[in-house]
Amino acid sequence: MSDDAEINFTSAMAAFEAKHFSRAMQLFSPLADEGNADAQHRVAIMHQNGLGTVRNCEQAVKWMKAAAEQGHALAQHGVGFMYLEGECLPQDSKQAALWFRKAAEQGLAGSQTTLAMMYEQGNGVQQDVAEAKKWFAMAGF
């Protein structure tokens, strides 16, 4: 990231954390367009929840998947959640499990826990108590 991009990202994060979502969207959008996965993830969250902009599922999915496909674990979890809950994407437990696994394999405890519960319940995956225990243990349970 260039020095200017780094400054803009820092400013965007400060605006986001201060709940100045319109300003955060202004600052994150060009960074997202340039391929910054963290910025794409934040833009997706703002579109998904209508923060600083009108709620827009199409844009939320576009940016969440863009970040997820770059290996951004929180975005992978976000895509998994969208599929699991049928929020902005059609409900699809198998797709949810695939995305949760990608994030879980990167060590994201929330994804490990969700994946464990999916194995425990046989939701989107073949029920497998041993696999559930493995993921629960990785998540620290």
CATH code (residue 53): 1.25.40
Count of structural domains within the chain: 2
**Claim to verify: residue 60 and residue 105 sit in the same structural domain:** no
Domain endpoint, select from 18, 45, 70: 70
Domain endpoint, select from 70, 91, 122: 70
Place of tokens 């100045």: 20
Distance CA(78)–CA(84), nearest Å, equals 10
**Claim to verify: residue 64 and residue 128 sit in the same structural domain:** no
**Claim to verify: residue 36 and residue 81 sit in the same structural domain:** no
Distance CA(96)–CA(114), nearest Å, equals 10
Distance CA(132)–CA(127), nearest Å, equals 8
- We report the CATH number of the domain holding residue 94 as 1.25.40.10
**Claim to verify: residue 37 and residue 48 sit in the same structural domain:** yes
* CB of 42 closer than 8 Å to CB of 52: no
* CB of 101 closer than 8 Å to CB of 93: no
Confidence of residue 7 (pLDDT cuts 50, 70, 90): confident
**Claim to verify: residue 64 and residue 115 sit in the same structural domain:** no
Distance CA(77)–CA(48), nearest Å, equals 14
Distance CA(128)–CA(116), nearest Å, equals 9
* CB of 42 closer than 8 Å to CB of 26: no
Query: Is the pLDDT score of 5 beyond 80?
Result: no
**Claim to verify: residue 20 and residue 33 sit in the same structural domain:** yes
Distance CA(11)–CA(7), nearest Å, equals 6
**Claim to verify: residue 54 and residue 108 sit in the same structural domain:** no
Domain with 85 in it: 73-141
pLDDT digit string, tens, across residues 81-135: 999 999 999 999 999 999 999 999 999 999 999 999 999 999 999 999 999 999 9
**Claim to verify: residue 62 and residue 32 sit in the same structural domain:** yes
Going by C-alpha positions, the residue among 140, 139, 101 that lies closest to residue 118 is: 101
Domain endpoint, select from 70, 86, 109: 70
